[in-house]
Amino acid sequence: MDTALSIEHVSHWYGSRQVLFDVNLSVPRGSITTVIGPSGQGKTTLLRIVSGFETPRVGVVRIGSRTLTENGKILVPSERRGVSVVPQEGALFPHLSVGGNVAFGLSQRRSAKSKKRVEEVLALVGLSGMQKMRPHELSGGMQQRVALARALAPQPDLILLDEPFASLDTNLRESVRDETIRTLRSAGATVLWVTHDQEEALANSDQIAVLFDGRIRQIASPVDLYSKPVDKKIAEFVGEIVMLRGEVGDQRGVVKCVLGNLAVNSTSDVSGDAFVVIRPEHIQIVGDSHAESVVGEVVSTKFFGHDAVVHVKLSTAEIATVRVRADNIPELGNKVRIAVRGDVQVFKR
Amino acid sequence: MISTRRVPKSLLAPALLAAAFSLVPIWYLVDSAIGSGLKFAVDEIFQTSTLRLVIRSLVLTACVTIAASVIGTIAGWVLVLSGIRPRSLLVVLLSLSLAIPSYLSAFSWISWFPWMSGFWGAFIVLTLVSYPFVMLPVVASMRSADPMQEEVARSLGRSDIGIFFAISIGQARTAITSGSLLVALYVLSDFGAVAAMRYEAFTWVIYGAYRAGFNPARAAVLSLVLVAIALIVTFSESKVRGRSGAQRIGSGVSRLRVVKPKKRSQIFAWIFSAVIVSGGVGLPLVSVIAWMFRDSQTKVDFSSVVTAIVSSFQIGTFTAIATVLIALPIAIAAARYSGLLVRSIERATFVSHALPGIVIAISMVFFGLRAVQGWYQELPLLVLAQTVIFIPLAVASMRSSIERSTAGVEEVARSLGANPLATAIRVTMPIAMSGVLAAVALTLLSSVKELPATLLLRPTGTETLATSIWKYSTVSDYAAVAPFGAALILLSAVPVAMMTATMNVARAD
């Protein structure tokens, strides 16, 4: 697959404060690449650099074979980059109708061809025939879909999504997001998407880049990111974890902790004192006969409907979180026997 | 959303120039004040007569501010909570006194009650003219306040009056404070009412020092003292507005307020409204009509009225165009960008907001004498002075309309292939247009009403509506005032009525 966007060695400062540190990222054509990370750590800045509203002091940004910016110089201004933006609140033009908004980026806006294109993309986002409506007459979700149609209309090389669902209600967010992803997929668009919601990213991306403190910590597929995070902080950020103290002895590939001797994920080369990181769904409540199991006391339970989470206090006073089926929740204060299945991650302590 | 990125140079340069422009008066005042030596300036400030002047001005300001706050708050209660009908008509009637220039109101009182001249006359007139500055924000804040709070108070056993004091006043506290500071600023800078009532407050004495005594250095020194007091008021006002209290905790759509009108409060509301409206609007209107049928010592031919209207509009049009052109970059910068530089530019216009018209006029005289000698008592200098006076008004009006759209729209336009110029033409301008038009209209009509700068700087031989009213009123030839007064009231009543009517409509949807 060829590369639609490549960001090479980009560093950026606001005044004297450095906000991006040597960022490298390439987005394959036709893929959805997500940048996740806590708020205020450089995600939006990265998007603004790609769209041309910030110029990085160091580094290169390319789209296809065109160099957009290089070491502090803008070579291609925003309006000639072919990069459409869908911002957080939609930012529809309040003085234009829905049709006028969608046609904004088309050349010869009054031509029959443009009219047809507007119809096409409005149909794509499920708003056929709404050309005459005004933005303020639309619900938040509809406004967001118009913003998407507007971004798609000129067939850009790249679409940037800047937390476009963050301002929507929880219920609405899910349906608008799913529709958006479906639309983008069927249009074959290349997407760079910024979000702080890791679940959203895991469910919908081809590739995820994790940005902490202005640095890219890991770039991986959703599955790899979840099962093989490169450090403890990422493990914690992309889902729930149980963290225990352990020790990797002479025998490589095995870590010793309160839950027994556990097999370590093959990529690790940690030795000595370590943190053992386990996903709650990899810990099970087992019968007495199970080998490599330990007993703990149920200290709290949380019911979620489809499943539940049980907190078990172990002999070292460490707490293990166990995900169980909703029809199988043990009583508070009971002793249960738990065991780990599969590999675990270890990180240096 | 406000962008944190730097202001583009194409916007920053005109905004900086505009800000510097609105500080020109201060520069010339300081220059003229210490022109006769620093010792002279210091001596002037520490004279007993200056101290008396400060006290007289502050007493008037304090009394009017208190009275206008009480009346404005009660008027807010009448309009929002009393359940009075027809409310929209009363909103317009109670706001209409904003449209009456203070000097016209003052002369109409004097013409009936000549003994009122002095403190009491100035106090009554200024209170009746300025209470809408408190009433309008109070109405807005009482409307947005959650009616649940009143219901909770009632369920805890409070009576109507108890609820008004314990809940409603509390909800409107920020609005009352910021409105009353606006009143204070208005009273400090008003020239027309105190001059008509011959109450020796700052503005009138400054005018006298300049005109009668031709003592420009004293006028400049006194102006600076007045500016210092006004600045304190302005900055307190911006502080208060900044920390507007939480009107509502938690989100959620609140139900519409349903007021059950009670007979006793209805009667009170009607009597209150009748008294205030007849004092603020009724009396000037009746006066103007009554004057029409009096004999005049001067024969007023109607062509002079037409000439006055034309020159008022000519000055007003130039002023409005100049003001909006200068204020637009500031409004865009303030609405779209943040940062120290932008805030300082905005502050600079605050400063000119605190400058009374008479002070700006006098500083422009100095400016005319020093910098542009050919301009004294020519049209450009008057337009310049009025422009400085009305910049804050225009900035506020345009800024709020630009802020209504999110900052992202310009960037989206760029990303869709519009270059900066096309973005300005296709996006920024159309969005700002309604605010620009409102600012033009507002500035034009304020310019028509404006008295002190016009009086001092008008081209020789030109009479406007405002100066004609002044000219005939000061010699008590009220019959001659009538046609000019009627024209001026009509012209300024239309926008006030429109503004308050739209305020009502905006609430309905």
- Best mean pLDDT range from B144-148, B321-325, B375-379: B321-325
The residues, ordered by sequence, that sit 6+ positions from B278 with a Cβ below 8 Å of its Cβ are: none
Phi-psi region of B436 (alpha: psi -120 to 50; beta: other; left: phi over 0): alpha
Looking at per-residue confidence, does B42 or A282 come out higher? A282
Under the banding of pLDDT at 50, 70 and 90, the label for residue A1 is: low
B426 CB within 8 Å of a chain A CB: yes
Q: Give long-range contacts, CB 8 A cutoff, 24+ apart: A64-69.
A: A64/A2, A64/A3, A64/A4, A64/A157
Instruction: Compare all CA atoms of chain A with the CA of B409 and give the residue at the minimum distance.
Output: A91
Distances (CA, A) of B91 to A277, B86, B97, B151, B503: 67, 9, 11, 25, 9
Q: Which whole number is the average pLDDT over A279-289?
A: 88
Contact between A79 and B426 using a beta-carbon 8 Å cutoff: no
> Tens of pLDDT along A93-108?
888 899 999 999 888 8
Which residues of B are less than 8 Å from A80 in CB distance? 417
In this prediction, residue B406 carries a pLDDT of 66
**Average of per-residue pLDDT values in chain A:** 89
> Tens of pLDDT along B311-366?
999 999 999 999 999 988 888 888 877 777 887 887 777 677 778 888 888 888 88
In this prediction, residue B502 carries a pLDDT of 58
Q: Best interface-test mutation with A: which of B253, B402, B409, B412 has the largest number of A CBs within 10 A?
A: B412
- Determine the Cα–Cα distance for residues B21 and B333; give it in Å rounded to an integer: 16
> Tens of pLDDT along B465-488?
999 999 999 888 888 888 999 999
In this prediction, residue B247 carries a pLDDT of 42
Instruction: Compare all CA atoms of chain B with the CA of A92 and give the residue at the minimum distance.
Output: B409
Cis peptide before B356 (omega within 30 of 0): no
pLDDT at B69 over 90: yes
Instruction: Compare all CA atoms of chain A with the CA of B402 and give the residue at the minimum distance.
Output: A94
Q: Which whole number is the average pLDDT over A234-253?
A: 88
Distances (CA, A) of B320 to A134, A163, B70, B192, B326: 31, 42, 34, 22, 10
Under the banding of pLDDT at 50, 70 and 90, the label for residue B508 is: very low
Contact between A51 and B406 using a beta-carbon 8 Å cutoff: no
Instruction: Compare all CA atoms of chain A with the CA of B8 and give the residue at the minimum distance.
Output: A53
Tokens of B48: 């007993």
Which residues of B are less than 8 Å from A48 in CB distance? 5
In this prediction, residue B163 carries a pLDDT of 77
- List residues of A whose CB lies inside 8 A of any B CB: 14, 48, 51-54, 77-81, 83-85, 87-89, 91-95, 104-105, 107, 147, 150-151, 154, 160
Question: What percentage of chain A has pLDDT greater than the value 90?
Answer: 48
Side by side, the strands of the sheet bearing A3-14 are: A17-28, A3-14, A58-63, A66-70, A73-74
Contact between A85 and B405 using a beta-carbon 8 Å cutoff: no
Write a three-state SS string for chain A: CCEEEEEEEEEEEECCEEEEEEEEEEEECCCEEEEECCCCCCHHHHHHHHHCCCCCCEEEEEECCEEEEECCEECCCHHHCCEEEECCCCCCCCCCCHHHHHHCCCCCCCCHHHHHHHHHHHHHCCCCCCCCCCHHHCCHHHHHHHHHHHHHCCCCCEEEEECCCCCCCHHHHHHHHHHHHHHHHHCCCCEEEEECCHHHHHHHCCEEEEEECCEEEEEECHHHHHHCCCCHHHHHHCCCCEEEEEEECCCCCEEEECCEEEEECCCCCCCEEEEEEECHHHEEECCCCCCCCEEEEEEEEEECCCEEEEEEECCCCCEEEEEEECCCCCCCCCEEEEEECCCEEEEEC
In this prediction, residue B241 carries a pLDDT of 65
In this prediction, residue B1 carries a pLDDT of 37
Transcribe B62-98 into DSSP letters.
HHHHHHHHHHHHHHHHHHHTS--SSHHHHHHHHHGGG
In this prediction, residue B3 carries a pLDDT of 44
Pairing of strands A32-36, A207-212: parallel
- Determine the Cα–Cα distance for residues A126 and A9; give it in Å rounded to an integer: 40
- Determine the Cα–Cα distance for residues B357 and B230; give it in Å rounded to an integer: 12
Instruction: Compare all CA atoms of chain A with the CA of B429 and give the residue at the minimum distance.
Output: A95
In this prediction, residue A172 carries a pLDDT of 80
Q: A50-54, A77-81, B497-501: which has the minimum mean pLDDT?
A: B497-501
Closest of B197, B189, B73 to residue B131, by C-alpha: B73
- Determine the Cα–Cα distance for residues A128 and A122; give it in Å rounded to an integer: 5
B258 CB within 8 Å of a chain A CB: no
Distances (CA, A) of A221 to A218, A346, B228, B275, B393: 10, 20, 65, 76, 56
pTM of the prediction? 0.72
Cβ atoms within 10 Å of A223's Cβ, excluding its own: 9
3-class secondary-structure state, position B294: coil
Please name the amino acid found at residue A69: T
Q: A300-304, B204-208, B262-266: which has the minimum mean pLDDT?
A: B262-266
- Determine the Cα–Cα distance for residues A162 and A53; give it in Å rounded to an integer: 14
In this prediction, residue B315 carries a pLDDT of 94
- Determine the Cα–Cα distance for residues A43 and A25; give it in Å rounded to an integer: 12
Please name the amino acid found at residue A75: L
Contact between B414 and A89 using a beta-carbon 8 Å cutoff: no
- Determine the Cα–Cα distance for residues B137 and B400; give it in Å rounded to an integer: 15
In this prediction, residue B250 carries a pLDDT of 39
Instruction: Compare all CA atoms of chain A with the CA of B416 and give the residue at the minimum distance.
Output: A105
Which residues of A are less than 8 Å from B408 in CB distance? 85, 87-89, 91
Residue A275 near residue A258 (C-beta atoms within 8 A): no
Which residues of B are less than 8 Å from A160 in CB distance? 415
Which residues of B are less than 8 Å from A91 in CB distance? 405-406, 408-409, 411-412
Residue A331 has phi, psi (to 5 degrees) of -70, 150
Under the banding of pLDDT at 50, 70 and 90, the label for residue B503 is: low
**Average of per-residue pLDDT values in chain B:** 82
Q: Give long-range contacts, CB 8 A cutoff, 24+ apart: B87-91.
A: B87/B504, B88/B501, B88/B504, B90/B273, B91/B139, B91/B500, B91/B501, B91/B503, B91/B504
Tokens of B58: 């502050």
Looking at per-residue confidence, does B115 or B334 come out higher? B115
Cβ atoms within 10 Å of A95's Cβ, excluding its own: 19
Contact between B431 and A154 using a beta-carbon 8 Å cutoff: no
- Determine the Cα–Cα distance for residues A254 and A272; give it in Å rounded to an integer: 11
- Determine the Cα–Cα distance for residues A153 and A115; give it in Å rounded to an integer: 11
The residues, ordered by sequence, that sit 6+ positions from B350 with a Cβ below 8 Å of its Cβ are: B234, B235, B238, B392
Which residues of A are less than 8 Å from B409 in CB distance? 91-94
Contact between A79 and B427 using a beta-carbon 8 Å cutoff: no
Residue A86 has phi, psi (to 5 degrees) of -115, 100
- Determine the Cα–Cα distance for residues A107 and A113; give it in Å rounded to an integer: 10
Please name the amino acid found at residue B223: S
Distances (CA, A) of B43 to A243, B218, B229: 78, 10, 19
**Cα torsion for A295, A297, A302, A307, to the nearest 10°?**
20
- Best mean pLDDT range from A203-212, A253-262, B353-362, B363-372: A203-212
Write a three-state SS string for B353-395: HHCCHHHHHHHHHHHHHHCCHHHCCCHHHHHHHHHHHHHHHHH
Which residues of A are less than 8 Å from B430 in CB distance? 95
Phi-psi region of A296 (alpha: psi -120 to 50; beta: other; left: phi over 0): beta
Distances (CA, A) of A58 to A22, A68, A70: 8, 13, 7
Which residues of B are less than 8 Å from A102 in CB distance? none
Residue A20 near residue A46 (C-beta atoms within 8 A): yes
